[in-house]
Amino acid sequence: MEIQIAVAKTNRYATAESGDTLEVVERPNGGVSVVLADGQTSGRAAKIISSIVVRQVIGLLAEGVRDGAAARAASDHLFTERSGRISATLNILSADLQTGTLVITRNNPTPIFIARVEKIECLTGESTPIGTSRNIRPAITEIPLELGLTVVLYTDGVWNAGDQYGSHLDVCTLLEATLEEQEPPAQEIADTLLAQAIRLDHGRPNDDMSVVVLRVIPNEEEGIRRMGVRLPVPVTSPFNQ
Q: Is residue 230 part of a domain?
A: no
**Domain containing residue 68: CATH number:** 3.60.40.10
Residue 203: which domain range? 2-220
Q: What is the pTM of this model?
A: 0.92
Q: Per residue in 52-72, pLDDT tens?
A: 999 999 999 999 999 999 999
pLDDT in the model for residue 218: 85
Number of domains in the chain: 1
Q: Per residue in 109-161, pLDDT tens?
A: 999 999 997 789 999 888 999 999 998 999 999 999 999 999 999 999 999 99
Q: Is residue 239 part of a domain?
A: no
Give the long-range contacts of residues 217-226, CB within 8 A, separation 24 or more: 217/1, 217/2, 217/4, 217/147, 217/148, 217/183, 218/1, 218/2, 218/147, 218/183, 219/1, 219/2, 221/2
Q: Is residue 234 part of a domain?
A: no
Q: Is residue 238 part of a domain?
A: no
